[in-house]
Amino acid sequence: MSDAATRLLIDVGNSRLKWALADDHAMLVSAQALAHGGDPASVVELLTLAADIREAWIANVTGEAHGERLAAALAVRHHLRPRFAKPIDGLQGLRIAYEDPSRLGVDRWLALLAAWSRDRAAACVVSAGTALTFDAVDDRGQHLGGIIASGLTTAQQAVLGATRFAAAGPEFQYTAGLGSDTEACVRQGALHACVGLVERLTARYGGQRRYLTGGDAETLRPYLAGDWIVVPDLVLEGLQQMPA
């Protein structure tokens, strides 16, 4: 951990809380991910931070109530008053496709902002987590839109919860082929659905750069064709771009 770290960055997803510290030049100096079990504020209370942290930025997709508890925990435990990131149309030249930019998920926007800020080139960003999302930007910084679909585990849970056959819970030992029992067939169905969706969209909207982030990024990567840049902390990189 750098003594120069002054900004706390927090990415609150549906199942995990990721946090990092940035120095005065907005470079990440540490990053960690912890499961929050539906209570992100309890994780914030466990963080050990240096006394020189001056500001905190949060990307929160878990709702306003959780955001309020996060802010309260940071104020009590670390004497910080956090700022919550919101999509800003035109920031760094990135223009949002939504008619109402505020409705774009802040995590998707920050990941796309980070990808655009890296090279200012046409790119696509895939986030593989509870949900599987795909967003694309052209070489002028125009967001082309995106999709939201079920992630690997969510897809398995949906099938297992909507059918009557006996099966255990989601499985996580993926292969390139077919399943040979019910659990494996559901697992492989989820994998091929996610990979097929990503490759179909990439063929049309892939751009010059392809970024993969999220908790299942490393799981999906071996099954995707082409060159992919895996960046686990892409949302946190986006938070670095937020104005002071």
Catalytic residues, which ones? 107
CA distance 188 to 177: 7
Q: Are 211 and 173 in contact (CB under 8 A)?
A: no
Report the DSSP pairing between strands 28-35 and 143-150. unpaired
Residue 156 to residue 161: CA distance in whole angstroms: 8
